[in-house]
Amino acid sequence: MAPTPREEAFADSLIGRRVPKLDAPDKASGRTRYLHDINVPGQLHAKILRATEVHARIVSIDVEAARRVPGVHAVITAADVPWQRPIGITKDHMPLKADIVRSRRDEIAAVAADTVQAAQEALRLIRVAYEPLPIVTNSAQALGPGAPLLHGEDLRVPGRNGALEVVHKACSDNVSMAYEYGHGDVSQGERESVVVVEDVFWLHYVTHCCMGVSGVIAEFDASGSLLLYSNTQVPFLHKREFAELLGIDPGRIRIIQPPIGGGFGSKLDIYPFEPIAIFLAKITRRPVKLLFTREEEFIASPTRQPVLLKLRSGCDREGRLTFRAVDTIHDNGAYTSWGATTPFVMMQTISSLYRVPHCHYRTRAVYTNNPYAGSFRGYGNLQATFAVEAHMDKLADALGMDALEFRLLNAQDPGESTPQGMHFRSCGFKECLGTAAERSDYAAKRRRNLEHWNDGNPVKRGIGMASMLHVGGGAKMYPSDGCGTIIKLDDFAKVTLITGASEIGQGSETVLALLVCEELGLPIDSVTVVNNDTAITPWDVGVHASRTTFIGGNSAIGAARKAKRKILEIAAPKAGRTPDDLDLRGGHIVLRATGERIQEIGKFLRSLHFSEKAELVMTTYYYEPPSVHLDRNYKGNVSAAYAWATQVAEVEVDTDTGIVRLLKITAAHDVGRVLNRLGIEGQIEGGIVMGQGYALSEDLLVEDGVIRNPNFRDYKLVTAPEIPEMDVSFIETMDGEGPQGAKGVGEAPAICIAAAVANAIYNATGTRIYALPFTPEKVYRALRGSNMPPKWPADAA
Amino acid sequence: MSALIEIEFRLNGISRRVSVPLQMSALEMLRDMMGQHGTKYGCGEGECGACTISVDHRTVNSCLKFAVDCDGRDIQTIEGLAATPFGETLNRAMVEHGAVQCGFCTPGIMMQAQQVLTDNPDASRAQIQRGLEGNLCRCTGYRKILDAIEAAAHPSPAVD
């Protein structure tokens, strides 16, 4: 049957289609100018001198020879910037260290020179004398009595009136941040249990490995306003932070975000290199560009939070979970960044991934002389899920219950609220479990693999399942979790979409353009997205918490609907209709009921612009999600939507060598709704492989505070031949608050891979390994019972 | 500063003559002296492939090659590849298959893909995977990159 005119008119919807990224053609032809490719006339090149001691008092710094190197414009130490102020979320971190270094990444001096070579030569001539201090690089030991204190004295800096003020209070126990959450009564839960398991898990150091190294360009104009070219994921928050740092009005700071060579959470905090470049620009009165080397990127960019985690959980005779009790020690490193706040996410999983009637959660983030942890895709959830999903298998097995049935029995339904206060308006958890299990033939394979444990074949197959819960509608951690949009339609029905939401490679500009086109009935190539300049774009809290499609998307839709309304309200009387009779489709104003074309949108806009009462169509919208802040007890509906996924891993374990090959991932994700199919597949596949690296190969080796493998030869990212077969299903739950029903998905795919792989290795071999990553050496030893499993420290009660 | 050495080579089909320091890498020369910013610094030690260029029709990591060793050679960068019919085909395939996210590794992968498919126009998926093992990508999980290169190698008949 031939399509009706209405069907034809509405067939141009882009929702769910495979829409190529708008920025891809330039990127694939080498035309895109990343931060690294930008050179400002007159710029100097900066380099940073880092500590060669892990913990030491700085006795002296001699920069005289460095200052004499031809081409060197400035050599600075803390003494040259007495007005510097601390950075980091607890303000415990001075950009340039004055008297004490606490880790091998610590910044001691910096040079600005005409060339990178001259700056490097100057660095080599700086002489630093140290007086070593006792070090502590084990977070449990750092809690113990007599441990060296990293921040044992008040940090004082000159205040606005010149007098010293305390910006970070002395810390007498090395505990940087502590959290305690509970609901119900864990001891009652324990009494109601027929099975109780307790284990200690160790989650290791990994780092982001963005392909583009960190960098910044800082430039002051003659009036003292600062222009930064920065790859920050949170430009508007950083405007404010840099203003505080410099003691200037935030209005005098402009941040331009050139295309970024990967983010993954690494650019959520200010790191010392940024203030240092700013100091050099201020002192030299020249633009200053600072780029890391790859080795610096490994040493001086943040890590994922390493965690020692003790989990105790139980279930009753019917297989219902009774309680979970968790204690963790987070290795904070020498300074406090976002890694110390991963408990906010971890406690969501501990309290609410499956129904947990009684729960207790405690974390201490502990200072050590190690590298410090930041935020990284998944934000603590990989660590929490690793432990929780190991116990889901162990409890089911102990009870003799099918592992899928056990999970389904405890999984939540739509409409439920959890004791922590999360409200699951839409929830595809059970569909995720069922779909992933069915498509992978989970139950049958899991049974079959057990029969091969003792068959003499050294190569074993295993299958393992894990699920995850993560915020899918933003996370209200700041006063606002919103995003602003400005839409401008020109005389030719070309749209300029000006959004606060940053593009970090994930495809946000394409999905936002798609959502606007859906409202305005225009093709995707009619949209230009402006998203990288705080002087132009409206406020947004930043790219984190898988929030951009949801929050930026709702904001873009809001602005587009206002533009549409304005067009229809003016067009309706001329057409002898009401606005509700009309719609925008295929570049035209059409009759909603039939799709019959009334006027080309461009023509309408021109007639509006050049009429007597001349007008343009420009709209603004600010979207604030209907979520709330956590209360003092960490309770509240912090996100406007929640996302689920189940991932099933199939592995092959060579018991002779300990080599684990990841053969296949079957994933089912509750994504609300697929907006750009190409984009969401890319997010999920990329996340799966990032999770694979976390599970199997990536391991930042930190020994006595020193990173032993700061390069891609010894830090093993997954390469093209190693990827698993991937079968990805989308569960479309059409979230009522989501943009066109969608939820955030950016972090989800990386979260449960390691947990699923651990369960698969157990299914293959009967050996459970409690520490990541599953390197051949570790697996080989574990299979022979010679691994030292992680232990909870006796004196860390 | 060390003495400068004058070299001459073809860059994307055009003769170039420059004076370079002895210790300068081909990557630095291309980026800093010849505006070829599509060639990326990813690691500086031949591990990531972001700086892949073609020298006399063989791909190399330009960070490991001295600029002076370009003397007399025929050099192609992503800017050169992008201007060829095959480069356009590959570009379209990468775009349409969603093989580009942050895009920082993409130029190097384009160069290496050309090499793999020149060596073996009928390369299997496994051969393409093996050919790309020196090119790291942190965003995509490689699958869409492999899809794109396979599609560029075996263009499917147009369907409507």
Residue positions counted in chain B: 160
Distances A408 to A319, A622, B110 between C-alpha atoms, Å: 10, 39, 45
User: How close, in Å, is residue B91 to chain A by CA atoms?
Assistant: 6
Tell how strand B58-61 and strand B52-55 pair up.
antiparallel
State chain B's maximal CA–CA distance in angstroms: 62
Tell me the three state secondary structure of residue A741.
Answer: helix
A78 and A56 share one domain: yes
Q: Do A211 and B40 touch (CB under 8 A)?
A: yes
Contact B125, B68 (CB under 8 A): no
Parallel, antiparallel, or unpaired: how do β-strands A253-256 and A459-471 relate? unpaired
Q: Does residue B159 form part of some domain?
A: no
Residues B12 and B72 in one domain: yes
Last residue of a domain, one of A577, A595, A623: A623
Please indicate, yes or no, whether residues B93 and B49 belong to a single structural domain of this protein: no
Q: Among B19, B49, B76, give the residue marking a domain's end.
A: B76
Do B37 and B90 lie in a common domain? Answer: no
Residue A177 has pLDDT above 60, yes or no: yes
Residues A583 and A453 both lie in one domain: no
Inside any domain, residue A554: yes
Token reading at A214: 């960190």
Q: A6 pLDDT exceeds 70?
A: no
Between A13-22, A185-194, A788-797, the lowest mean confidence (pLDDT) is in A788-797
Could you give the number of structural domains in chain B?
Answer: 2
Q: With an 8 Å Cβ cutoff, are A685 and B130 in contact?
A: no
Instruction: Say yes or no for a CB contact (<8 Å) between B102 and A261.
Output: yes
Number of domains in chain A: 3
Per-residue pLDDT, averaged over A49-59, amounts to 98
Which of the two residues, B141 and A7, has the higher pLDDT score?
A: B141
| Co-location of B140 and B104 in the same domain | yes
- Domain membership flag for residue A168: no
Collapsing DSSP states into helix, strand and coil, what is residue A413? coil
- Quick check: B80 contacting A, CB < 8 Å? no
Same domain, A276 and A408: no
How high is the pLDDT of residue B160? 40
Q: Are residues A657 and A776 in the same domain?
A: yes
B71, B86: one domain: no
Report chain A residues whose CB lies below 8 A from the CB of B103: 23-24, 27-28, 32, 259, 261, 505
Q: Give the mutation candidate from B143, B146, B147, B149 for the A interface (greatest A CB count, under 10 A).
A: B143
- For B101, the domain range is 81-153
| Half-sphere exposure of residue A505: CA atoms within 13 angstroms, side-chain side | 32
Cβ of residue B111 closer than 8 Å to a chain A Cβ = no
A598 domain residue, yes or no: yes
Tokens linked to A680: 């969401």
**Looking at the annotation, which residues of A are catalytic?**
747
Q: How many CB atoms lie within 10 A of CB B6?
A: 10
Percentage of chain A lying above the pLDDT 70 cut: 98
- Tell me the pLDDT band of A1, cut-offs 50, 70 and 90: low
> What is the mean predicted confidence (pLDDT) over B105-127?
97
Q: Which two tokens stand for residue A739?
A: 């943009």
Per-residue burial over A49-76, b if 16 or more Cβ lie within 10 Å, else e, is bbbebbbbebeebebeebeebebbbbbb
> Is residue B158 in a domain?
no
The answer to whether position A82 is within a domain reads yes
Question: Rounded mean pLDDT of B78-106?
Answer: 98
Q: pLDDT digit string (tens) for A259-282?
A: 999 999 999 999 999 999 999 999
The verdict on residue B63 lying in a domain is: yes
Q: Which of residues 121-160 of B touch A (CB under 8 A)?
A: 126, 128-130, 132-146
* Chosen domain end from A573, A590, A623: A623
The reply to whether B19 and B38 lie within a common domain is yes
To the nearest whole number, what is the mean pLDDT of chain B?
95
| Domain co-membership, B138 together with B116 | yes
Looking at the fold, whether A576 and A495 belong to one and the same domain comes out as: yes
| pLDDT > 60? residue A761 | yes
Task: Identify whether residues B108 and B63 lie together within a single domain.
Answer: no
In chain A, residues with a C-beta closer than 8 Å to the C-beta of B79 are: 29-31
Q: Work out whether the CA dihedral A559, A563, A565, A566 comes out positive or negative.
A: positive
Same-domain pairing of A66 and A129: yes
Verify whether the Cβ–Cβ distance A681 to B100 is below 8 Å.
no
A685 contacts A746 by C-beta, under 8 angstroms = no
Whether the Cβ atoms of residue A706 and residue A47 lie closer than 8 Å to each other:
no
Quick check: B110 contacting A, CB < 8 Å? yes
Residue A394 has pLDDT above 70, yes or no: yes
Question: In this complex, do B129 and A721 lie within 8 Å of one another by their Cβ atoms?
Answer: yes
Q: Which two three-digit tokens encode residue A717?
A: 């990212």
> For residue A795, what pLDDT band results from cuts at 50, 70 and 90?
confident
Q: Which of B58, B76, B94 is the last residue of a domain?
A: B76
Residues B20 and B59 grouped into a single domain? yes
CATH number at residue A741: 3.30.365.10
**pLDDT digit string (tens) for A452-494?**
999 999 999 999 999 999 999 999 999 999 999 999 999 999 9
Range of the domain at A716: 398-475+632-796
Q: What are phi and psi of A141, to 5 degrees?
A: -65, -35
Give yes or no: residues A567 and A677 share one domain. no
Q: How many CB pairs under 8 A join A and B?
A: 179
Across the interface, of A30, A723, A726, the residue whose CB is closest to B78 is A30
- For A449, the token pair is 């693999």
Structure tokens, A138: 């084990």
Integer Cα distance of B93 and A181 in angstroms: 50
A682 contacts B138? CB cut-off 8 A: no
In-domain check, residue A23: yes
Digit-coded pLDDT (tens) for A415-445: 999 999 999 999 999 999 999 999 999 999 9
- Percent of chain A at pLDDT above 90? 96
Mean pLDDT of B20-24: 96
pLDDT at A159: 82
Phi and psi torsions of B64, nearest 5°: -100, -5
Determine, yes or no, domain membership for B31: yes
Same domain, A551 and A453: no
Averaged pLDDT for residues A345-350: 98
Q: Which of A597, A623, A649 is the last residue of a domain?
A: A623
Chain B 82-101, residues with CB within 8 Å of chain A CB atoms:
82, 87, 90-91, 94-101
Do A506 and A573 reside in the same domain of the chain? yes
Which chain B residue has its CA at the smallest distance from A32's CA?
B38
Tally Cβ neighbours within 10 Å of residue A244: 14
- Sequential DSSP letters for A648-712: EEEEEEETTTTEEEEEEEEEEEE-SS-SBHHHHHHHHHHHHHHHHIIIII----EETTEES--ST
- Same domain, residue pair B89 and B126: yes
Question: Average of pLDDT values for A632-646?
Answer: 98
**Does B160 map to a domain?**
no
| Chain A residues within 8 A of B33 when measuring between CB atoms | none
Question: What is the gyration radius of the CA atoms in chain B, in angstroms?
Answer: 16
Residues A80 and A51 in one domain: yes
In a domain, A464, yes or no: yes
If you average pLDDT over residues A153-179, what whole number do you get? 93
Domain CATH code at residue A115: 3.90.1170.50
pLDDT score, position A138: 96
Q: Is residue B42 part of a domain?
A: yes
- Interface ipTM above 0.95: yes
Interface contact B91-A27, CB threshold 8 A: no
What CATH number corresponds to the domain at position B118? Answer: 1.10.150.120
Question: Are residues A130 and A233 located together in one domain of the fold?
Answer: yes
User: Domain boundary at B76, B99, B125, which?
Assistant: B76
Q: How confident is the model at residue B159 (pLDDT cuts 50, 70, 90)?
A: very low
A685 and A556 within one domain? no
Domain-embedded: residue B138: yes
Q: Between β-strands A582-585 and A527-530, what pairing exists: parallel, antiparallel or unpaired? A: unpaired
Query: Both B72 and B17 in a single domain?
Result: yes
A614 CA to centre of own chain: 46
Give B136's contacts in chain A (Cβ within 8 Å): 209, 211, 712, 717, 719
Same domain, B16 and B69: yes
Residue for token digits 């970024």? A260
Is the peptide bond prior to A773 cis by the omega test (within 30 degrees of 0)? yes
From chain A, the residues in CB contact with B77 under 8 A are 30
Please report whether residue A673 resides in a domain. Answer: yes
Nearest-neighbour CA in chain A from B146: distance (Å): 8
The beta strands (E) that lie in chain B are given as 4-11, 14-21, 52-55, 58-61, 74-76
Q: Taking 80 as the threshold, does the pLDDT of residue A7 lie above it?
A: no
Q: Is residue A152 in some structural domain? A: no
- Here the CATH number for the domain that contains residue B68 is 3.10.20.30
